[in-house]
Amino acid sequence: MVYDISYWTRVGKRILYVIFILLGLYVGLRLSIFYMPFLVAFIISLIIEPAIKFIMKKTNLTRRTSSIIIFIIVSFIILGSLTWLIITLFSESSSLLQGLNDYYYKAQEIFGNIISNFDFDKIHLSNEILNVIQNSTDDILNTISNWVRKSLTGLIELITGLPSIAICIGITVVALYFICVDKIYILDQIEHHLPKLWIKKIGTHLRDLIKTLGGYLKAQVSLILISFIISLIGLYLLKIIGFNVQYPLLMALFIGFVDALPILGSGTVMIPWAIICGINGDIKLGISIIVLLIIMSIVRQILEPKLVSKNIGVHPIFTLIAMYTGFKIIGIIGLLIGPIVLIIVKNIFSSLIDQGVFKTIFDKN
């Protein structure tokens, strides 16, 4: 058998190229988590950059002065919001954790009544299957209860770790100041210490990545923030006028989190919540939640075409696979990170994907 050494050498180089890129991506993600305060500061700096340029254009002030003005305004907004958020989250999480057993038994009673009132004779189910249904319902409720308890306990532990939170917030604020004020100097230093070939190749990929991923993230964050604010205001209004909404901030955060998932949406939370309210006898609250969902959907449908490109080049099935993979690897947060990693990988390997991955690697032509 004759082996074509040049062919297999070329294949080996292409495989190594893919492996090194994926390894670099993994290391980059790990470093992003490790240096999270600086990453957050960088993202905030990108968001407020248009405001800095606007101040410079309208007032003819220097970049340093304009950056300091915007930085002070943004810092007050962030620190004030975080203070309210931490205090409210701690209060609502502690209250929900204390009453979690009552909610568990109440949900168990509701499902028990549904099962007992349903006429299973019409579908001819045996007692063994009925017992399985009952036990499965109990297992599902128990799993949900344990997950909620674990999540709330972790959230309370995170909130009560004030020294570490204060350090992270402090580093983020200081890093944001330096990134805003000395952006040109930082970019010059990075360019000075990197080879020109790296700067050219990295710059090309980075521009494409920022255009695709940055646009996607900016649009999604905007839409999620809008959904969160609308749901938060709506739930607090319902609470003020006397409806039984006990944890508006936690529910608004949960709705915002689910709304961030590409395939799911706020209706995944709010429709079951409205149905449970109706089953529980609180028809007015159920209808109010549906009305709030309709308002959120209308606002989203109006704004989404302006903020999000209709086609980011990723089919929903691959997005679903990315969500599931992220969930299996790192848990709930992986549902958010999975699609983001998918977009990054697609951008880096765009030429391979367009030509066919295996065809590009193994084709002899």
Q: Is the pTM of this model over 0.95?
A: no
Q: What is the pLDDT of residue 304?
A: 64
Say which residues have a Cβ less than 8 Å from residue 149's Cβ, sequence separation at least 6: 97, 100
Q: What is the pLDDT of residue 209?
A: 65
Q: What is the pLDDT of residue 16?
A: 81
Q: What is the pLDDT of residue 32?
A: 79
Distance CA 63, CA 180 (A): 9
Say which residues have a Cβ less than 8 Å from residue 181's Cβ, sequence separation at least 6: 63, 64, 67, 68, 71
The DSSP call for residue 314 is: -
Each of the 365 residues of the chain gets a pLDDT tens digit; together they read 445 677 667 777 777 877 877 787 778 778 878 888 888 888 888 778 888 888 888 888 888 888 889 989 988 888 888 888 888 888 878 877 777 777 667 766 766 666 666 655 565 556 666 666 666 766 776 777 777 777 777 777 766 766 677 888 888 888 888 888 887 777 777 666 666 666 666 666 666 666 666 666 666 777 778 888 888 899 999 888 888 888 888 888 888 878 777 667 788 888 888 887 887 778 888 899 899 989 888 887 777 666 554 445 566 677 778 878 888 887 777 777 777 777 777 776 665 555 555 556 566 55
> What are the pLDDT digits (tens) for 122-171?
655 566 666 666 667 667 767 777 777 777 777 777 667 666 778 888 88
Distance CA 217, CA 194 (A): 28
**Contact in structure between 222 and 307 (CB atoms under 8 Å):** yes
